[in-house]
Chains A and B, each alone.
Chain A
């Protein structure tokens, strides 16, 4: 017996006799003996007290981000977590419900998806957004494959900025290898930004897309209008990847500058860092390419009485109908995380999001100013390039060593680039958000001074 198995021993006996069977084993007679076992090599059932104690101990051996001044970014950001977000996420009507294939009893979920699509669309400047993808890295993959499809497979080259998160590029390689698509990587200039003419040279007339990230891996903001033009001059689609979604609170999304796809990671919108997942991939594109877009889509319609209603639509793009010719194989996506983002954004409001982004900017500028004031042996790697809330810091040791040293001074100072080398120095990516108070900045600066 177990609380999570609805029938007790007496119930089973009763049902078996109703079915005219002697033993439950009779129901498994169709399984050949050669694959059967008597039981599993696992411990016996554990009660809640044991679970709370054991999992609690396991969790407490980790160092939670909030326990110390924290400046970690590189694709996962620490922002405010309004209490209403988790309160809504904990409603059983949302988290224990299924994909809304029966719209008549899923209008809650469907309207949330519609609102999410609208919010993301307005932030990115492109008219169509899907209901979510797994994460930012796979969103980049989908954008590249989408571009390949839109150009009908006639162009086999993909141009990718080196300053897209190296982990995203590793993931992209896994998929492009399988699809037989060639990838050309473009390095940034000495200012950490891409040069549109270099893009044109590399893309030539063979690229199906040019993918860039802004703010990029180094935290630097790219010249979006020029990069879109460069891509289009070569007949390629322009793809913008965003890993810090809060940047869209102050920076215009690439859609307004002609980008054909804006995609990436929306974890900053109320999704817990959660040691890397579940997070929230997003994807937006122009309506003219809608039929090539992967993922689920909610649409507005009416019911038989003419009342407004929402439903999943254009399902014919998807795997369960189009099968071998589907735009992607994605089925289950990140629905509950899209709900989290929707609650978070609506709680912030348009003004609140802007204020939050401004707060990130102000604190980042202040920290950069104070680091510059210390001088040797610390320097901002790209002091003249515009950043939002993240920058590369170089110091007297390798990034990995600096992280350990600064951690022993009580500061989680940043993410080392030591193992993610490229056309940039070995250092620390420092992210500053509205969660970093003046005391945090003091602690950071003090730690640097101690190590100087």
Chain B
């Protein structure tokens, strides 16, 4: 199961990538696998501010709805517009073209896991 080394992770299965003084957020391979085929993504409005753990948006499969949360505090700078017509990108390329939101803010000083830590977390979860 894919867990890129260069990213950080939180315990609700979002990944965080530092990009200058902003971060990009998406959901992990494990999360999209659990969710099943994504049919719709509800993204936040650009300009809205969120605290850590706030609901940023939702991901819908045919039979379920899942929230994705803000792993860092920040303001929404950009959202992935391609997901409106191609929600399958979340399944097909969760760390690349399936990114969700760009937030102002930093991954430093946050209670995030590195790749090994997230792997450990996944093992514990399924125990």
**Residues on A with beta carbons closer than 8 Å to the beta carbon of B61:** 316
Q: Closest approach, in angstroms, between the C-beta of B40 and any C-beta of chain A?
A: 7
A275-305 CB mask vs B (1 if < 8 Å, else 0) is: 0000000000000000100000000000000
Q: In whole angstroms, how far apart are the Cα atoms of A316 and B65 in the complex?
A: 7
Residues of B within 8 A of A315 (CB): 62-63
Does A369 belong to the interface (CB within 8 Å)?
no
CA distance A322 to B40 in the complex (A): 14
User: How many chain A residues touch the partner (CB < 8 A)?
Assistant: 5
8 tightest A-B CB contacts, nearest first? A316-B60, A316-B65, A322-B65, A321-B65, A321-B64, A321-B63, A315-B63, A315-B62
**Min CB gap B112→A, angstroms:** 28
- Which residues from B are CB-within-8-Å of A316? 40, 60-65
Contact with B along A27-39 (1 / 0, CB 8 A): 0000000000000
Instruction: Provide the residues of chain B in CB contact with A322, threshold 8 Å.
Output: 65
| Tally of contact residues, B, Cβ under 8 A | 8
| Chain A residues near B62 (CB-CB < 8 A) | 315-316
Report A's interface with B, CB cutoff 8 A.
291, 315-316, 321-322
Q: Hey, which bits of chain B sit against chain A, CB under 8 A?
A: 40, 42, 60-65
Residues from chain A with a CB closer than 8 A to the CB of B64 are 316, 321
Q: How far is the CB of B45 from chain A (nearest CB, A)?
A: 10
Cα A322 to Cα B62 in complex, Å, equals: 12
CB neighbours (8 Å) of B42 from chain A are 291
**Nearest chain B CB to A67 CB, angstrom units:** 52
Nearest-neighbor residue (CB-CB) of A316 within chain B: B60
B37 to chain A, nearest CB (A): 13
Q: How far is the CA of A292 from the CA of B108 in the complex (A)?
A: 38
Chain A residues with CB below 8 A from B65, complex form: 316, 321-322
Give CA–CA (A189, B29) in the complex, Å: 63
CA distance A290 to B65 in the complex (A): 17
Instruction: Kindly state the separation between the CA atoms of A441 and B42 in the bound complex, as whole angstroms.
Output: 58
Within 8 Å CB of B63, what residues of A?
315-316, 321
The residues of B that contact A291 with a CB separation of less than 8 Å are: 40, 42
Q: Which residue of A lies closest to B42 (CB)?
A: A291
Complex Cα distance, B27 from A411, in Å, reads 70
How far apart are the CA atoms of A322 and B63 in the complex, in Å? 10
- State in angstroms the CA–CA spacing of A315 and B40 once bound together: 12
Please, how many angstroms separate the alpha-carbon atoms of A143 and B39 in the complex? 26
CA of A321 to CA of B65, assembled, Å: 7
Bound form: Cα–Cα A321–B60 in Å: 10
| A-B residue pairs in contact (CB < 8 Å), sample of 15 | A291-B40, A291-B42, A315-B62, A315-B63, A316-B40, A316-B60, A316-B61, A316-B62, A316-B63, A316-B64, A316-B65, A321-B63, A321-B64, A321-B65, A322-B65
Task: Give Cα A72–Cα B103 distance, bound, in whole angstroms.
Answer: 62
User: Nearest chain A CB to B58's CB is how many angstroms away?
Assistant: 9
Q: How far is the CB of B118 from chain A (nearest CB, A)?
A: 28
A322 to B61, CA, bound (A): 12
**Which residue of A291, A315, A316, A321 has the most chain B CB atoms within 10 A of its CB atom?**
A316
Task: Please name all residues of chain A whose beta carbon is closer than 8 Å to the beta carbon of B60 when the two chains form the complex.
Answer: 316
Q: How far does the alpha carbon of A315 sit from the alpha carbon of B61 in the complex, in Å? A: 10
Give, as a whole number of angstroms, the nearest-CB distance from A382 to chain B: 47
Q: How far is the CA of A315 from the CA of B39 in the complex (A)?
A: 11
**CB nearest neighbor in A for B64:** A321
CB distance from B34 to the nearest CB of A (A): 16
Provide the bound-state CA to CA distance between A316 and B66, in Å.
10
A291 to B43, CA, bound (A): 13
Q: Cβ of B40: which chain A residues have Cβ within 8 Å of it? A: 291, 316
